[in-house]
Structure 1
Amino acid sequence: MDTRTPPALFVSHGSPMLAIEDSATGRFLDRLGGLLPRPRAVVVASAHFIHERPTVTATPAPDTIHDFGGFPPSLYQIQYPAAGAPGLAADVAQRLAAAGFDARTDGHHGLDHGVWVPLRRMYPQADLPVVALSVNPAQTAKWHYRLGRALAPLREEGVLVVGSGGFSHNLRALDWQHADAPAFPWVEAFTHALRERLLTGDMEGALDWRALPEAQRNHPTPEHLYPLYVALGAGGEGARGRLLHRDVELGGLALDAFAFDSDSVNQTDNPRSQGGSSPN
């Protein structure tokens, strides 16, 4: 049994086609699961699971939800038959309640594509129990950071906490005709500023994301950014980021991935699509 403590992770899940296409981010995720300590279960805060109250899936055998449209039929045939973990879900809800959140469990909800798309690349055997945690775009980055902080002790118990969203996410501004289009200047401005704050442990600067350059243009709505703050909080006291992967698709879809824990140190390299720093 692997007794190492997994870091908390933030991954950008991009398009649902990430599940089946050969891409730099897909290949990164293919490697990532094997580089991490083997968890006993996974908790994923997903940009596509939205509730006013923090909600945790407690479904014993969750369905694979195909919550998207206009993609090839093969994508809708994919199943990710991971087991749920009702006991872990109850534990998560209890920890959130103890931290002052009005949390609840949901015994019927399945796994949306923000959960199963990255996990299908990381753990293709679907042999780890999975619990999803909702986000609330009407709340703040600090609120989601507090959610993560309540879950940080789970990492010592072998639970992998993941935030699944997007480092930038403005679908209306993407260059849909050119998958390899270079990053737009407004994407570079925002992602560089936020990346630097995460890597240097500038917590207040990272939480005040709306003050960063071009913030509104990169995230017209914040649901894809808030899983980042759940992961940051789950990294624990004094956590800073390690940049594991960095890529951009369609000019405006930044696909950064980070590990967070209190042992992280600032990385001087700039991981690109071919790899990055080790998550351990």
Structure 2
Amino acid sequence: MTMHFPALFVSHGSPMIALEPGATGAFLTHLGQTLDRRFGRPRAVLAVSAHTTARAPVLLGGAQHEAVYDFGGFPQALYELRYDAPGAPDLAATVGERLQAPVLERGGLDHGIWTAMRYLYPDADVPVVPLALTPMASPAELMAMGAQLRSLSEDGVLVLATGSITHNLRLLMSQRPWGGAPTENDPEMPESAAFRTWFAARSEARDWEALAQYRVQAPNAVMMHPTDEHLLPWFVAAGLGGREEAPQRIFEAVTFGCLGMDAYAFGPQAGALREALQNTP
């Protein structure tokens, strides 16, 4: 029987998560194991990341993917990690037809995708199709696009959106009021906590209008997201999940005091996933 998967949004944080998993890496491992137990192995993953963008939707339909090291200034060990996953050209063609989007016969997984996938599916045995994010689109437009893909989750495809629930690199690297550079275990800034709490509350209330207008309604929205691209994948997954079900926050954490690592699940199976995560070690 083909399983109906919830759509997912995960915060990927720094590329260093690939070497230093911390609490988020442990959660992603638990998430992958729980998905396997509760829903089975997906036939493919459709990935929407803040780091693969285009002016209009486009799909990477190559038969094979490798990790793309789209960052600089990190330890050499990070560039030596590999994540070689198969592609799914047939799925890319299906999604391309549905969105009237071109399919490129090329591969490559940006770090927002492969750093998450290496914990979800460490054997790199699940085919992946990256769908480029259109960062100039509004949250409402991205939700509408996600709604066009809703039947995919009912046909064994796991939709994985990756970004960050808060993302301000300048704030991340700034001097702390108490002195010194930021550290991973810094206490959360009140502004970050207020934003994450608002976003979770509006999600629970299914307040889609407020969520779509988060930049003007959420507290500290511009501080937490000077630009939109790291939150926009959330709206693609939310659109796919549908307006009838409340998004479920399935993980919450903060690193460096202001980099939110929250994860959400969407759609009719989101509640079942949250319960399964809570009830298994």
TM-score normalized by structure 2? 0.90
**Which position in structure 1 is the counterpart of 2:117?**
119
Distance 2:156 2:106 in 1: 25
SS of the aligned residue for 2:114 comes to helix
Alignment of structure 1 residues 112-261 onto 2, 5 Å:
112-174=110-172, 176-210=181-215, 211-261=217-267
Shifted more, 258-267 versus 140-149: the winner is 258-267
Q: Deviation at 1:40?
A: 0.7
Give 1:278 deviation, angstroms.
6.7
Is the contact between residue 20 and residue 75 of structure 1 (CA under 8 Å) also seen in structure 2?
A: yes
TM-fit CA distance, 1:177? 2.9
Question: 2: CA distance between counterparts of 1:150 and 1:258?
Answer: 20
In structure 2, give the amino acid aligned to 1:181: D
What code does the residue aligned with 2:142 have?
H
| Secondary structure in 1 matching 2:46 | strand
1:263-278 to 2 correspondence within 5 Å?
264=270, 277=278
Match of 1:100? none
Q: Secondary structure at the match of 2:9?
A: strand
SS state at 2:33 partner:
helix
Cα RMSD (Å) of the superposition?
2.2
Stretches of structure 1 lacking an aligned partner (at least 5 in a row): 98-102
* Partner Cα distance (1:35, 1:161) in 2: 16
Q: Distance in 1 between matches of 2:210 and 2:232?
A: 15
Q: Is the 8 A contact 1:232 1:240 kept in 2?
A: no
Distance 1:54 1:112, change over 3 A: same
Among all aligned residue pairs of Structure 1 and Structure 2, give the percentage whose two residues are the same amino acid: 41
Q: What is the CA distance between 1:70 and its match in structure 2?
A: 0.9
2:61 maps to which residue?
Answer: 58
Q: Residue 69 of structure 1: which of 57, 69, 72 is its match?
A: 72
More displaced stretch, 82-91 vs 130-139: 130-139
User: Which residue of 1 is the match for residue 16 of structure 2?
Assistant: 17
Point out 4+ residue stretches in structure 1 off by more than 6 angstroms. none
Q: C-alpha distance in 2, partners of 1:133/1:123? A: 19
In structure 2, relative to structure 1, the CA distance for the partners of 1:34 and 1:265 (3 Å cut) is closer
1:26 and 1:121 in contact (8 A); partners too: yes
Residue number in structure 1 paired with 2:27: 28
1:85-131: CA deviations, max 9, x gaps? Answer: 1110011111112xxxxx21121241111111100011000000001
Partner SS state of residue 132, structure 2 = strand
Q: CA deviation at 1:226?
A: 0.4
Q: 2:178 aligns to what? A: none
The structure where helix makes up a greater share of residues is 2
- Residue 276 of structure 1 deviates from its aligned partner by 5.9
Amino acid at match of 1:110: G
Report the TM-score when normalising by structure 1: 0.90
| SS, match of residue 143 in structure 2 | helix
Q: Which runs of 5+ in 2 are unaligned?
A: 174-180
Q: How many residues align?
A: 268
Q: Secondary structure at the residue paired with 1:174?
A: helix
CA shift in 2, pair 1:150/1:140, >3 Å: same
User: Who is 1:47 aligned against?
Assistant: 50
Matches of 1:172 and 1:252 in 2, distance apart?
11
Displacement of 1:264: 4.6
Residues 1:79 and 2:85 aligned together: no
